Amino acid sequence: MKNRITKLIAALTVGVSLLGTFPYTLSDKIRLTAAAANYSEIDGYIYDTWKQDDYGSFEFENTENNGFHSTMHETTDALCLKGRKFEDKPAASDIPDYYVNYDADAYFDGNCILSVFGEDTENKIRFHIIDAWSGYKPSGNKQPAATAEIGGCTYELYDVFHADYDIGGSIIESTAYHDIISLRKDDQISDRKGTHLNSTVNIKDHIKAWEEAGFNIGNIDYVSLCIDSYRSNSELYVNYLDIGEEIKLPEPSQIERSIYNLSDKAEFSYDNFSKDSGNLKDSVISSVTFTPNSAAVSSCDELKKFLSDFLTENAVNKFTEKYSDSFFENNVLLLNTYVDPYKGRITEFLLNKIYYKDDKLYILFTSVIGPHIKNTYGLDIIQIALPKTEFRNTGEEWKNEEELCPETVRVSIVDEDTGKLIDLSNVAYSDLVQQERKTISTKSEGNNPYYVCDDYSIIDEYIRWPGLWINDEYLPERYMTDFKINHTSINNSADITIKVKNIAEGDVNGDNSFNIADIVAFQKWLINPSDEPLEYWKAADLYKDNILDVFDLCIMKRKLINK
């Protein structure tokens, strides 16, 4: 009985936005819930948002000048759009010059696209004019049907047909539809970099190019600006948006930029001082909890003063040699101290973005976590050199976003009620966790969370089908798996959190209450244990002998009488 294993399967729904349709072999029927099915309206513009499942966070806010602000963090798939609806649904061939003018700041980390998006619902057609993208190519491995020069840019043209899809919740009611795509070749956004975009797209020019390539759109229901983030992170500030038959470009003073990007002007670096290097002061080495410190220094003397709290005199002098007096004549040095909470698993740091918002400087960086413990655990000092002309002394805020190394799986077992990791310090990964479909022959280090690293095929299985078997026997007393898995995957890695529940004594039906119903359920199971497995069997082992029998039932009845 005690060798009973609880099966946990979190079958991920494959994304069906434009980004979600290309890189993988899709199942026969996939649910689509996007495409302005339940749009709202504001100041003559429609807007709509969609997020697949419960993974990650997604925020949307309408802003001035018909703009909007969206943030998508570790979502499986999410998108939002804002645009104009055509009440009379004009024929695409009859539409006059029709422009989408926008000014935006985009931050893409992973697989994201920004496009002019619309639909012909009558003929089951969606169209995308992709202005900027990052990650994998939105067209996947497909070859373009044609190329076209439009507005001084080169576009690849695609007509992608989707058949036998379960379209639920969309205004597209058919099980088959077309994606007509213009993919701009010369404007891919670099990952982790902020990019300012200012563009004017004439939809009529693209319709002509599509017709010449043999693609046909009947009528147009609406036109919008759309951001799509697939298993990635993104942030988009649309400072200005105008859609109509005239090009209406705003005056610079009309746009109160919500963000001022400095990513391309900042020089990022970091130094590591291990506990065994002899460069750290005893107060840092012996500190149980280290509070990060940050500063903006503009001279060698200020730099030495900041470093002297953490480093020995020799280490301070060697560090300062990198920055001369001439450097500080033109630059400010931003510093932040960081102690690896994983005691040696941080492999590198990356600058995500640096920007001003509401006159405060925000620095977003990423600490990359690997599966193997290194001997460099100690203190990291992160540095950003920023031109003085770009620096405002109004305060800085550093924010860290963790990321797993590629082809790394982290499996964490947490208490569902407290959200904290449970103590599995003496439990091997191979005993506690097994993977469905494949036997994991990997090197795992550490205990809860467990870090597993293997070839891409294993990681790929985790990402698509994180089906795990948890052996409850190795969980602490009264803990049992509760069939809840949170799963995120970015950069060919997987971060899986398995929630377990601490079951009270006697609560064999798991309803958080011990009463006569538990005794009845246990007694029925004892009479005929082959009918159904006892869901929370640990709660019934009151005799604590690893056997479920009448002795446990007697103790359970006595416990209820005493209660």
394 shares a domain with 445: no
Q: Give the pLDDT of residue 254.
A: 64
Q: Give the pLDDT of residue 257.
A: 64
368 shares a domain with 350: yes
Strand partners, 104: 197, 238
Give the span between the Cα atoms of 435 and 464, in whole angstroms: 12
Give the span between the Cα atoms of 275 and 281, in whole angstroms: 9
- 511 in a domain, yes or no? no
Q: Give the pLDDT of residue 321.
A: 94
Pair of tokens at residue 109: 């980390």
The answer to whether the beta carbons of residues 272 and 376 sit under 8 Å apart is yes
175 shares a domain with 44: yes
The DSSP secondary-structure symbol of 265 reads G
Length of the chain, in residues: 563
Question: pLDDT (tens digit, 0 to 9) for every residue of the chain, 563 residues total?
Answer: 322 222 222 222 223 455 554 332 222 222 223 444 568 899 999 999 888 877 778 899 999 899 999 988 878 788 899 999 998 889 998 889 999 999 998 888 888 899 999 998 888 889 999 988 888 788 777 889 999 999 888 999 998 887 754 444 343 444 677 889 999 887 667 666 678 888 999 999 999 999 999 998 899 999 999 999 888 888 899 999 999 998 887 776 666 666 778 888 899 999 999 888 889 988 776 665 667 899 999 999 999 999 999 999 999 999 999 999 999 999 999 999 998 888 889 999 999 889 888 778 999 999 999 888 887 788 999 999 999 999 988 899 999 988 888 878 888 889 888 889 999 988 888 788 766 544 444 566 678 898 876 544 444 544 444 456 778 788 887 787 765 666 666 667 778 888 888 877 777 777 777 888 888 888 888 888 766 667 677 777 777 777 788 888 888 888 788 87
- 11 in a domain, yes or no? no
Pairing of strands 443-445, 450-453: antiparallel
- 10 in a domain, yes or no? no
Task: Among 258, 276, 309, identify where a domain stops.
Answer: 258
- 229 in a domain, yes or no? yes
Give the span between the Cα atoms of 174 and 120, in whole angstroms: 12
299 shares a domain with 150: no
Closest CA to 133 of 145, 116, 121, 118: 116
155 shares a domain with 242: yes
Q: Give the pLDDT of residue 500.
A: 86
525 shares a domain with 430: no
Q: Give the pLDDT of residue 533.
A: 66
CB neighbour class for 202 (10 Å; exposed up to 12, middle 13-18, buried from 19): middle
- 214 in a domain, yes or no? yes
- Cβ-proximal residues to 94 (8 Å cutoff; 6+ apart), any chain: none
Q: Give the pLDDT of residue 515.
A: 85
477 shares a domain with 393: no
CATH number for the domain spanning 90: value is 2.60.120.180
Q: Which domain holds residue 341?
A: 264-404
159 shares a domain with 39: yes
Looking at the structure of the chain, the number of domains it has is 4
452 shares a domain with 384: no
Task: Among 386, 404, 422, identify where a domain stops.
Answer: 404
Q: Give the pLDDT of residue 197.
A: 86
